[in-house]
Amino acid sequence: MAEQIRFGIVGCGGIGPFHAEALKEVDSAVLVAVADCIPERAQKVGEKYGVPWHGSIDDLLARNDVDAVAVCTYSGLHAEHGMMAARAGKHVLSEKPMDVYVERVDELTRVCKECGVTLGGIFQNRFSRNGMRAKRIIAEGYLGDIVYASASCLWYRMQSYYDSGAWRGTWALDGGALANQGIHSLDRLVWLTGMQPEVISAYCPTLQRDIEAEDLGVAMLKFPNGAGGTIQATTLANPGLSAEILVCGTKGCLKLADNEMAMLETETPLPDELADTTGGGGSNSGAADPAAIGVGGHVVNIKEFVSAINEGREPSVNGAEGRKAVQLLNDIYRAAGVGRWAAKV
């Protein structure tokens, strides 16, 4: 019988409670403690789920009954807090992205390996029924050679969203529309195509929101096989649209809208298990409300991470996989000349 993995959650703000709720649905895992640097937030989540709460990460990491830590703090602290957990002998499950900058993801991966703990990431949209179906369709050649692929995350966040936390929209701890909202789209574009694209050009202005980072991001891509692609993300598209991934090949095309198969055409007939695209979305859209994503995808993602620990293998979203979207994000920022890549005056 698989061992039940005992989880602690660090970071009890926006996404932390989603992990607590998801863990209720994972038989092979159990929540045993939570922590947040704002004690009131930790207390609220701890009391709701009936577990001890702490006002510091160090106190949670000192517990002997914590096997794994779900890192749900600010994006730019994911690697730092993940390394703290690894050095305390805890397995690490990092919320998206694994960090804002790729060198920190690499350092986190190295430290977890040195400490002999498992590192996993949250990209829950990979685990939706239609997402996994799309991956098989592309990998098994039903679309032929990929000639074009695009990702679009045209969502809406009011200024009050950014004002709710001083870290939001900052270059050090968050990034903008591409790094926070669009990171799932970047990940799925690379994951589905199986290729890491080169960024040919990018435009990442701050048009409307009072933040450091971009509220609009547009990039033109070139894939290693010569295919072209585009990425667009914003938090200004009122009232918010579905996040879409389009992959076109020489033998067919498919499009995912959120986690639904919006379009699928192939020259070669698909086997029944790939042709049936009804249902299986797996989570709601966060187009206008970040709290509307649902926990179904997190449940499957966490189950796979726990299975990896018990089976002594790498999870499907490991450090190498988690870095790909962050590498693309950093390449876009570099091409746009923003953030740490902005020209010095």
What range does the domain containing 83 cover? Answer: 5-124+295-318
Whether 1 shows a pLDDT value over 70: the answer reads: no
Q: What's the longest Cα–Cα distance across the chain?
A: 61
Which residue did the predictor score with more confidence, 139 or 279? 139
Q: What is the average per-residue pLDDT within 147-168?
A: 97
Q: What is the CATH number of the domain that holds 306?
A: 3.40.50.720
Whether 306 shows a pLDDT value over 80: the answer reads: yes
In the prediction, which pLDDT does 276 show? Answer: 74
Residues 135 and 254 in one domain: yes
Which residue did the predictor score with more confidence, 344 or 198? 198
In the prediction, which pLDDT does 291 show? Answer: 65
Token pair of 55, please?
């006002």
Domain count, the chain: 2
Name the percent of the chain lying above pLDDT 90: 92
Residues 161 and 239 in one domain: yes
pLDDT in tens, 255-285: 999 999 999 999 999 999 999 756 554 445 6
Token pair of 206, please?
């701050």
Residues 105 and 153 in one domain: no
Residues 138 and 266 in one domain: yes
Does residue 325 contact residue 97 with C-beta atoms inside 8 Å? yes
Q: What is the CATH number of the domain that holds 278?
A: 3.30.360.10
In the prediction, which pLDDT does 345 show? Answer: 57
In the prediction, which pLDDT does 286 show? Answer: 75
* Torsion angle, alpha carbons of 231, 162, 260, 142, to 10: 20
Residues 177 and 53 in one domain: no
In this prediction the pTM is 0.95
Whether 289 shows a pLDDT value over 80: the answer reads: no
pLDDT in tens, 28-71: 999 999 999 999 999 999 999 999 999 999 999 999 999 999 99
Q: What is the average per-residue pLDDT within 149-166?
A: 97
Residues 94 and 138 in one domain: no
Residues 302 and 333 in one domain: no
Residue 287's pLDDT band (boundaries 50, 70, 90)?
confident
Residues 195 and 55 in one domain: no
Whether 292 shows a pLDDT value over 70: the answer reads: no
Q: What is the average per-residue pLDDT within 126-136?
A: 97
Tell me how far apart the alpha carbons of residues 117 and 133 are, in angstroms, rounded to a whole number.
30
Does residue 233 contact residue 182 with C-beta atoms inside 8 Å? yes
Whether 140 shows a pLDDT value over 60: the answer reads: yes
- Which residues make beta-bridge pairs with 221? 199, 229
Residue 174's pLDDT band (boundaries 50, 70, 90)?
very high
In the prediction, which pLDDT does 284 show? Answer: 52
Residues 110 and 221 in one domain: no
Residues 190 and 252 in one domain: yes
Mean pLDDT taken over the chain: 95
Residues 68 and 111 in one domain: yes
Residues 68 and 143 in one domain: no
